[in-house]
Structure 1
């Protein structure tokens, strides 16, 4: 290994090169994208089809089946699922992770376009959008007023929207939660009946007068002139003075039979913030930008607008993601700094001031170089990458420790500092490289994992790998260079703790090792019993996927029965809002009526827009589960006393998006059989302690008011059928007949509607009239029959099969795996209707997919590590000796999780994977030195005894520095990262203790035939 000698010989070049890399890291730290969670691509597309007036069965036959059939022919589909209801179908297609999201989106668009002619021509909406977890609103602004209407709030919001979209780093801004402004023509049906004017007369007169047809052009000599006709309405007065009916000496105008005014449309989505009517403006950050820089510019523009707001209008920020990003990043950096201090103290105590200085100096430099490379790789600073830095903290000092110790040994032999540094670093160079490679290979499984969890966590292993490579570069260049300057040539008294380790190694440990080598099979039997016992304990740990997010926010979802009015939903939402705001823990409440809140968390998407749904976003003063969960339990009891609505509380979860922690799919072709089975499944889930928010979308009775036209009677009275439909629509909710543009260029639809109550009522049918072709007005009720009609509200598809998905959340500290298994036991005993069966979804499906994928790539990594060891030791038996540390790492992991009270989660699995590379290094140190001693003439027993005693210090020191680096993060109480820290710390402690006994025993047994 010539690199250390070259680095020392060319000192200036080495320092300049490292300085440039460090400056790259410093610049990257300042400018790297910052976010709360990883920004990753999600290869999925959503197709939304709106076809008004179509029932669920027709939507399936005419829309969903053809589209699914076309999409199902594409490659790499992971799941294809659809939600079908009256007039609306939402089809989601997810592709295998690793697929190009843009390419797959293009494939979906192409497939749907190919069959567009086979779909109904009069589809109102056919949208296709990519589903991206990156498109989360980083800020939500409320423009509020109790005195001003939407006619004032909306223009203000739109002006702010356009201003914010011009800011660098802003991808888009949206305005939400406002009522559309309409120019309403409210017909007085009583007066119209007296004058013999039908609603269709009013509609036709406005349509004809408001038509804007180009007049063409004329020539005058050599000049060409465009002819402008009267065009559309230039003012509201023009509309009022439009003739509806004329006779000799008498003209009836619109204003004679209707009131004309600019007013709000029927509400479909309204919002309140802190109890005040609001319009929301939201902003999505452009990928790759720095959230703090973007937010500073946004707040600057908000301040300018705030100073110019009209009377009665106020502005507030309902959601600011920089708060949680800053909090999350600061927590991780605090853990990082605390870990750095602990590592520094440990190296100082065991190695002394000057060697510790060389080692400690390598830590920040490795971090800066690693962060620079991370920026080049396209990753930003967020919880996953910072967690990678924390994990790397304890690992990267290993290389510096090995190099510095060896340089110090050559100095004690009397070599000049430069020569000692060159020879010392060169001698261990390949050993340091192979040790780093084995550690890196342990993180490759996470990097290779092509699942939602793998993509979510990807920046963490990338950060560890790049930081370890940076530490390797520092260890082989800068560390020997610094050692040649800082380490003294003369012999020094070793530090006190180092002497204590040497004393223990030559005393009690030597006796224990001698006894173990004399009774190898007894030692192995005890080790195996410990391993078996820990495996038995593993069954009591429980299994989980990702924990709750510990964000200071909850969502309250309110769902009224199908057919409930917007006003009813609004009343219940205000009642729930009042109940929530009584608690001191609550900072603010944003209330959304008719739709879910704009998207402010990466794995939660807004719900469909329906009048019987509302959502409250409740910001809290803390996200600690020990405080939030009792508060949530209290709220559930409060909401249980509110009649007429299903009110559920949603706590935010970490990890990739999935339906719910518990999800059971009831599959079958017969909707009636599926409905019956789903009701029983719902009972099974509800009766299982620990489940909350149980939802069965199929078991929500829907009753429609069906208007049946007596066609024979209509023909007898000479009334066209379409005139009846037109009269019903216009009288109830209004019929758009033309457009009006004001002097500011704003367009408003002209809507003809009944001048009755603000909300349509069934009594309105009594006043409806329709005109026959002869000019007579006929009461509508003479031509129709009103019937209550029960209808299937909605159902779903999964991989083109009919099904319904029953979901549930988890209460408190219950585990999804245990609850799902308990439910599955009940389902197995259930007498399923013919043709109906169940499938398990939710967290269990996600976990099995992720864990199975993790197991495969972990096996590949183990084979890679084994291959490196075979090449290094030129033996097949010695790698087996080294691998003996891995089962004991598993023992330590189980004990660590059990003592800390954690389940075996996905992050614990990450910790186990990390352990593989770490514990193998300890065994490599011991076996490698034993082999050197045997080459010097020692027999197997002497070699392994001396090696174990001599290498005790570096083994203990590397173990302690790794534990020290992870200890602050582990003790932070994070439900996400504490299990990983407990896994690594427990595994390291147990495997290190057993490695110092079991590995020498195995070396002696398996090396008896090794030459």
Structure 2
């Protein structure tokens, strides 16, 4: 084969190439970013509009419908969905998979800008246009919890937030939980009336006094100084002395018509970790940053911060995506080393130590070459790529074994090592190429898998193709060169007779029988194939995209009836927390009451009837029971609790796929939809194997109408 012959004749060039692969491969492996999931584009854009204190029906007519009417003119759209809830509107626009998401975001912005004229004039915030970016999901969640006052918890969380954001590789830290400080003013209506002062006058007086006034600059002697007149209030007591007006020759102070309280904003949610109130920090890394390095820096900072914590406060890491990546990287390294050792051991008895080592070298050099190509293509070391590399490990030595063993056979026939290498490579080169291309073609169609799942899974065939191509290069270039100049027959092989071995003799007898009874062999093969297909049809366990595994984390969603206040939702959450606390294999019970929390760690919309409880399990080796059994027990335990819907589900790995079965009912009349949803649930709730039957239909929140 031309490429092998050229490599054998230019061994110095090949040795230099090996050195380059070694250096570049190791460097690429070190600098390759580690991530939990591939950085894929999800063609979904969200339009979120808050409008506090407004019913879902009014949200639909005032916010959702005007925006939807403008969005209907968008191109490349597959579906537009909307949810109008109390106090907020969320519209989801799903584009075709190959859309340019940046252009799609701009299209949506333009359409929303056109709709702003039709929106209520008292809307405090403009609609937010968001995209779903997996790289912006938090890699770490840190809980600040304890029996301390929530002011202290919030302060500790804010200090940690500032410190963590200074770490290289950290994109953002989102703090949730706790309440903001609020200065409350309680007016006396009788005194306002007596002094003939309106609320607008009071507000205007506060706004005029609560300002810092820049005064430019002033020259004093040889120096130039900035001039500023500070006027912002630094203490609530200062507001008491604020002069509002003069009535009947008497100065009216703020304290004459109102009382001031240094308090907190109204509670709209509660957060707890293992029963203790908490503040959470969601830490997001920058795109391309190494998840392991970022996590290590955060852990080092947290260790230093623990020494400065006030008494009764503790820090807990409730989510650590770097842990799984670190484990997979370690497993890949161990598999490479183990593969080297096993290849040498297995081939040692046939080829000797040195020659078997030539085969084993195919593993590290193929891997290093693959790392260099991955780095060149900008592909990160994520879970899919790491799994693909481990899958490819078993195929890396196939080509090398064929090449090296054939060279060894030619040397046994009396040829020199160089001639044997050239003859052997030419003899089996094309079959080796054909077998590799055949394997590559088996994975190639997966690259064209459509949709979000295809974007996620394409890294599997891509990585396998890169790795197998690298192994083919090593087998045709590096292995013949090494064997042609360093291979020698082992002493055992030199005295060995050239008669067939027992294995070859046994195989030849079977082959002769098969050739003499060709029709029988074909018929027998067809019967076996038919039997396998029939057996799978009868005894098979079905088909699923991702296998069911024992989860490390689970989520319990609680949906109380519309109109349920925070206190009632909190009671339901406490009941569920009590059941979870009885399970010794659960290390963290994280409760968020009164919020539809988002997985991106940015909090969620405040809805007093919704709660979410996250369960973190111990590591698999430390558990005494399967976490799936624990979830089954929790489903049974929360079932008798009345007045709410409970959904117990494990956290799925991989791209967002939604529930296995989704039934969509649409129509114009809310009352008809309500009746159909209830009837449908009654029909299918008895289906065997069905758990967590849930609908997203929300009835109108009860309201009291006052006619004036």
TM-score w.r.t. the length of structure 2 is 0.89
Per-residue CA deviations over 1:650-679 (Å, capped at 9, x if unaligned) read: 201233213322210012223222221111
Contact 2:142/2:315 (<8 A) preserved: yes
Structure 1 residues 180 and 690: CA distance shift in structure 2, 3 A = same
Per-residue CA deviations over 1:574-612 (Å, capped at 9, x if unaligned) read: 3322321122111122222222556379xxx96533122
Which residue matches 1:707?
Answer: 706
Which residue matches 1:683?
Answer: 682
Per-residue CA deviations over 1:212-260 (Å, capped at 9, x if unaligned) read: 589899999xxxx999889554542231234678654766644355432
Which residue matches 2:149?
Answer: 148
Partner Cα distance (1:27, 1:215) in 2: 56
Give the counterpart of 2:528 among 519, 527, 530: 530
Q: CA deviation at 1:333?
A: 5.0
Which residue matches 2:459?
Answer: 459
Contact 2:215/2:229 (<8 A) preserved: no
Contact 1:333/1:386 (<8 A) preserved: no
Partner Cα distance (2:217, 2:482) in 1: 91
Structure 1 residues 685 and 331: CA distance shift in structure 2, 3 A = farther
Partner Cα distance (1:481, 1:182) in 2: 77
Question: Secondary structure at 2:80's aligned position in 1?
Answer: strand
1:301 and 2:301 correspond? yes
Structure 1 residues 492 and 99: CA distance shift in structure 2, 3 A = farther
Question: Secondary structure at 2:99's aligned position in 1?
Answer: coil
Partner Cα distance (1:64, 1:687) in 2: 36
Partner Cα distance (1:200, 1:386) in 2: 71
Partner Cα distance (1:498, 1:677) in 2: 77
Question: Secondary structure at 2:310's aligned position in 1?
Answer: coil
Which residue matches 1:89?
Answer: 89
Partner Cα distance (1:567, 1:199) in 2: 40
Which residue matches 1:616?
Answer: 613
Question: Secondary structure at 2:157's aligned position in 1?
Answer: helix
Partner Cα distance (1:368, 1:355) in 2: 21
Per-residue CA deviations over 1:735-773 (Å, capped at 9, x if unaligned) read: xxxxxxxxxxxxxxxxxxxxxxxxxxxxxxxxxxxxxxx
Partner Cα distance (1:395, 1:402) in 2: 12
Q: CA deviation at 1:180?
A: 1.4
Q: CA deviation at 1:128?
A: 0.6
Q: Within 5 Å, give how 1:129-168 maps onto structure 2.
A: 129-150=130-151, 152-168=152-168
Which residue matches 2:38?
Answer: 38
Partner Cα distance (2:487, 2:196) in 1: 99
Task: Judge which range, 37-46 or 61-70, deviates more.
Answer: 61-70
TM-score w.r.t. the length of structure 1 is 0.63
Contact 1:679/1:699 (<8 A) preserved: no
Contact 1:137/1:285 (<8 A) preserved: yes
Partner Cα distance (1:497, 1:58) in 2: 91
Q: Within 5 Å, give how 1:116-127 maps onto structure 2.
A: 116-125=116-125, 126-127=127-128
Structure 1 residues 200 and 619: CA distance shift in structure 2, 3 A = farther
Structure 1 residues 549 and 122: CA distance shift in structure 2, 3 A = farther
Question: Secondary structure at 1:572's aligned position in 2?
Answer: helix
Q: Within 5 Å, give how 1:202-213 maps onto structure 2.
A: 204-211=201-208
Q: Within 5 Å, give how 1:974-985 maps onto structure 2.
A: none
Contact 1:548/1:653 (<8 A) preserved: no
Contact 2:150/2:179 (<8 A) preserved: no
Q: Within 5 Å, give how 1:549-560 maps onto structure 2.
A: 550-560=550-560
RMSD: 3.5
Question: Secondary structure at 2:140's aligned position in 1?
Answer: strand
Which residue matches 2:361?
Answer: 361
Q: CA deviation at 1:304?
A: 3.2
Structure 1 residues 216 and 352: CA distance shift in structure 2, 3 A = closer
Q: Within 5 Å, give how 1:546-945 maps onto structure 2.
A: 546-548=546-548, 550-596=550-596, 599=599, 608-623=605-620, 627-698=626-697, 700=699, 702-708=701-707, 710=708
Contact 2:35/2:291 (<8 A) preserved: yes
Partner Cα distance (2:499, 2:204) in 1: 94
Contact 1:358/1:486 (<8 A) preserved: no
Which residue matches 2:71?
Answer: 71
Partner Cα distance (2:640, 2:290) in 1: 45
Structure 1 residues 548 and 198: CA distance shift in structure 2, 3 A = farther
Partner Cα distance (1:495, 1:161) in 2: 75
Contact 2:164/2:298 (<8 A) preserved: yes
Per-residue CA deviations over 1:838-874 (Å, capped at 9, x if unaligned) read: xxxxxxxxxxxxxxxxxxxxxxxxxxxxxxxxxxxxx
Per-residue CA deviations over 1:474-505 (Å, capped at 9, x if unaligned) read: 11111112212443358646799993330211
Give the counterpart of 1:505 among 480, 504, 507: 507
Contact 1:96/1:450 (<8 A) preserved: no
Partner Cα distance (2:451, 2:461) in 1: 15
Per-residue CA deviations over 1:760-805 (Å, capped at 9, x if unaligned) read: xxxxxxxxxxxxxxxxxxxxxxxxxxxxxxxxxxxxxxxxxxxxxx
Which residue matches 1:408?
Answer: 408
Per-residue CA deviations over 1:937-979 (Å, capped at 9, x if unaligned) read: xxxxxxxxxxxxxxxxxxxxxxxxxxxxxxxxxxxxxxxxxxx
Contact 1:416/1:489 (<8 A) preserved: no
Which residue matches 1:826?
Answer: none
Gaps of 5+ in 1: 711-1011
Q: CA deviation at 1:269?
A: 3.1
Question: Secondary structure at 1:647's aligned position in 2?
Answer: strand
Question: Secondary structure at 2:46's aligned position in 1?
Answer: strand
Partner Cα distance (1:356, 1:495) in 2: 21
Pair member with larger Rg:
1
Which residue matches 1:470?
Answer: 470
Q: CA deviation at 1:556?
A: 1.9
